[in-house]
């Protein structure tokens, strides 16, 4: 029996792990032990995904919670190590680029347990982002690197990662979008609940540290979204980090009166909000891609992105909040966005390929 410990902890990891776990658990001869670090813990940042996406209950919930990078990652490292010593798995599977990813990879590699990284090779080349450090270190600690795109493969080659460790498998978030996208259509009531008509609103999300922790950027972004809300409804499921930043900066009341703020929503509601939006404005990695999956024009409220193909194809527009006129760009796009039909991320069955490689590598 091949034993795999999967480490998750933050919202996007639940979605990625849901796609992989579904296939993993239906594969004979493979046993998954699920570890939740507790990095995200509010019901609408964690439980809702386990329930809706039918992710099995974690075998271990480490309950680490929030903290500074060092404290949070350090506590996770210690707690994950204990689990690994107890479980002695054949593989540790980590996802994406959060502190939970790095802690999982580091705990495993120090115990000489093979590590597989899903969403390997993404780079923003901005070392100020905590995610960039997590990605680079996790990739270099990993034995199998599951790259979602050709660009990711090239990035890993340039960093000298041995070719045999790199596997181009496609994007697990596309697997999730295909599988749960259909479910969302049947189950989500969010449009009715918020009184939204298809293509008559903009969907926005903001949560990156670089935007929330910089008062100038936070103000520029939310001033722009409030101004746009005068022309077309703006719906924004609010990440707890951003809620705190808006309250701290004294902007919350103004924003709440201009924009339709909601609590973070479950994945099925999010899919419906994305599919039916006229435009998406976001600093999220996952949401940028989902905009493309559902062919919704997207502006990314950042200076750079790891998902460069979408920008190169003209599908996603990077908007440095400080130097660009967000309102004018969005108005222009709303007027004349040229729909294209492109296939950059449309490689499905990433989850199946990942599991085949894990089995192959051990046999």
Which residues are the active-site residues? Answer: 207
Minimum CB separation of residue 46 from ligand UDP in Å reads 11
Considering the rule CB under 6 A, would residue 185 count as an interface residue with ligand UD1?
A: no
Comparing C-alpha atoms, which of 292, 295, 321 is closest to residue 308? Answer: 292
Among 6, 8, 11, 299, binds ligand UDP (CB under 6 A): 11
* Residue 332 in contact with ligand UD1, rule: CB under 6 A: no
Name the nearest CA neighbour of 194 among 261, 279, 256: 261
Please count the other Cβ atoms lying within 10 Å of the Cβ belonging to residue 348: 16
Give, as ranges, the residues between 180 and 199 that touch ligand UDP (CB under 6 A): none
Cβ proximity to ligand UDP: between 220 and 280 the closer is: 280
Rounded distance, CA 229 to CA 259, Å? 6
**Binding of ligand UD1 by 39 (CB under 6 A):** yes
Q: How many residues bind to ligand UD1 according to rule CB under 6 A? A: 18
Specify the DSSP class assigned to residue 238.
P
Q: Which of residues 78, 244, 325, 360 is near ligand UD1 by CB under 6 A?
A: 244
Backbone angles phi, psi at 61, to 5 degrees: -115, 110
Q: Per-residue x/- marks for ligand UD1, 62-101, CB under 6 A? A: ----x------------------------------xxx--
Of 10-18, 174-182, 270-278, 313-321: span binding ligand UD1 (CB under 6 A): 10-18
Contact 234, 204 (CB under 8 A): yes
Size of the site for ligand UDP (CB under 6 A): 16
DSSP codes of every residue in 267-322 = HHHHHHHHHT-SEEEE--HHHHHHHHHTT--EEE-SS--S-HHHHHTTSEEE--TT
Rule CB under 6 A: is residue 124 a binding residue for ligand UD1? no
Pick the closer one to ligand UD1 by CB: 251 or 329: 251
Interaction mask 203-232, ligand UDP, x per CB under 6 A = --x-x-------------------------
Q: Does 282 bind ligand UD1 (CB under 6 A)?
A: no
Query: Does 139 contact ligand UDP by CB under 6 A?
Result: no
Q: Using the rule CB under 6 A, give the single segment among 7-15, 29-37, 196-204, 225-233 that binds ligand UDP.
A: 7-15
C-beta of 191: minimal distance to ligand UDP in Å?
A: 15
Nearest Cα neighbor of 275 from 166, 174, 185, 347 is 185
* Contact present, 221 and 246 (Cβ < 8 Å): no
Which of 212, 232, 230 lies closest to 221, judged by CA? 212
Pick the binder of ligand UD1 from 117, 135, 167, 207 (CB under 6 A).
Answer: 207
Residue 314, number of CB atoms within 10 A of its CB: 11
Taking the least distance from each CB to ligand UD1, the nearer of 244 and 325 is: 244
Does 133 sit near ligand UD1 (CB under 6 A)? no
Q: Which residues pair with 219 in a beta bridge?
A: none
Classify the phi-psi angles of 126: left when phi > 0, otherwise alpha if psi is within -120 to 50, otherwise beta. Answer: beta
Residue 20 makes contact with ligand UDP by CB under 6 A: no
Distance CA 116, CA 114 (A): 7
Q: Which of 52, 132, 290, 309 binds ligand UDP (CB under 6 A)?
A: 290
Say which residue the tokens 């120090």 belong to: 110
Strand partners, 35: 7, 60
Q: What number of other Cβ atoms are within 10 A of residue 47's Cβ? A: 14
Among 32, 131, 139, 175, interactor with ligand UD1 by CB under 6 A: 131
H/E stretch holding 150 reads: helix 150-158
Q: Judge whether 319 and 301 are in contact, CB under 8 Å.
A: yes
Q: Could you say which of ligand UDP, ligand UD1, none residue 240 binds, taking C-beta under 5 to 8 angstroms by partner kind?
A: ligand UD1
The β-bridge partners of 261 are 236
**Position 264 contacts ligand UDP (CB under 6 A):** yes
Query: Which residues of this chain interact with ligand UD1, rule CB under 6 A?
Result: 10-12, 39-42, 45, 66, 97-99, 130-131, 207, 240-241, 244
**Binding stretches for ligand UDP (CB under 6 A):** 11-12, 15, 205, 207, 237, 264-267, 270, 284-287, 290
């Amino acid at each position: 029996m091949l034993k795999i410990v999967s480490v998750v902890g933050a919202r996007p990891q639940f979605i990625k792990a849901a796609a992989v776990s579904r296939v993993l658990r239906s594969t004979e001869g493979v046993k998954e032990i699920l570890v939740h670090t507790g990095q995200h813990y509010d019901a609408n940042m964690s439980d809702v995904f386990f329930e809706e996406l039918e992710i099995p209950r974690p075998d271990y919930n480490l309950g680490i919670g929030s903290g500074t990078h060092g404290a949070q990652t350090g506590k996770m490292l210690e707690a994950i190590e204990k689990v690994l010593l107890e479980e002695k798995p054949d593989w540790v599977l980590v996802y994406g680029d959060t502190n939970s990813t790095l802690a999982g990879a580091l705990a495993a590699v120090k115990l000489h347990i093979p590590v597989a990284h899903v969403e390997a090779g993404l780079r923003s080349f901005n070392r100020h982002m905590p995610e960039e450090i997590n990605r680079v270190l996790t990739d270099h600690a990993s034995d199998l690197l599951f790259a979602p795109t050709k660009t990711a493969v090239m990035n890993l080659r340039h960093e000298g990662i041995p070719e045999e460790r790199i596997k181009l498998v496609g994007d697990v978030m596309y697997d999730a979008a295909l599988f749960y996208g259909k479910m969302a259509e049947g189950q989500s009531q969010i449009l009715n609940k918020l009184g939204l008509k298809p293509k008559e609103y903009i969907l926005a999300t903001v949560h990156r540290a670089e935007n929330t922790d910089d008062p100038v950027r936070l103000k520029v972004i939310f001033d722009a979204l409030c101004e746009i809300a005068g022309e077309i409804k703006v719906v924004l499921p609010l990440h707890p980090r951003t809620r705190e930043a808006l309250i701290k900066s004294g902007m919350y009341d103004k924003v709440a009166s201009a924009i339709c703020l909601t609590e973070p929503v479950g994945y099925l509601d999010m899919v419906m909000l994305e599919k039916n939006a006229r435009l998406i404005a976001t600093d999220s990695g996952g949401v940028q891609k989902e905009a493309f999956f559902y062919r919704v024009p997207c502006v990314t409220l950042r200076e750079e992105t790891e998902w460069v193909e979408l920008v190169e194809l003209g599908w996603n527009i990077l908007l440095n909040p400080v130097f660009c006129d967000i309102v004018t760009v969005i108005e222009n796009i709303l007027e004349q966005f040229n729909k294209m039909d492109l296939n950059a991320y449309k490689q499905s069955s990433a989850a199946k390929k990942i599991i085949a490689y894990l089995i192959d590598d051990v046999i």
